[in-house]
Amino acid sequence: MPSPGLESIKRKYPSLSHRIERLAGYIENQIESGKTDIVPALAAASLRCTEAEVLGLLMLFEKERMVVPAYKIYCKRNRTLLKTVCNKENIPTDIYCKFCDEEHADPDELEVELVFQVRTETWELLHNNAPAL
């Protein structure tokens, strides 16, 4: 039995069915590799499509609660993760970095990356019923 969320998206957007399946396959591979954060740019490169296309599809997955957006905040100098927040409004204006031992208040000192976190429980049906390759 396929994932109800995935089937719902394909019913609503039949012309995108192939692209939806490809992105779902990519996400499945990420889950199998132990990765639950989907980086749109990496997914786009892997699927050989645009980042905008992947973002649009991930937003459809979000509506079905299969993924949730998150913002990862990194120290630009050390490229270390400082914090993850679930919505844009919660991105702090300044954040302490233990690696630099200072408060980063200048936006140029930080890098914010949008990722989509997989809600693994919604993918279990799809994963458990996927045909063996």
pLDDT of residue 132: 42
Strand-pair partners of 74: 81, 111
Residue 98 DSSP SS3: coil
Go through 9-35 and write b for each residue having 16 or more CB atoms within 10 A of its CB, e for each that does not. bbeeeeebeebbebbbebbeebbeeee
pTM of the model: 0.85
DSSP H or E run through 75: strand 67-75
pLDDT tens-digit series, residues 104-122: 988 899 999 999 999 988 8
How is 99-130 classified by DSSP, letter by letter? TTTEEE-SGGGEEEEEEEEE-HHHHHHHHHTP
pLDDT tens column, 45-87: 999 999 999 999 999 999 999 999 999 999 999 999 999 999 8
Please name the amino acid found at residue 51. Answer: E
pLDDT band with cut points at 50, 70 and 90 for residue 131: very low
- At 35, phi and psi to the nearest 5? -105, 130
Edge-first strand order for the sheet with 37-38 is 37-38, 110-118, 67-75, 80-85
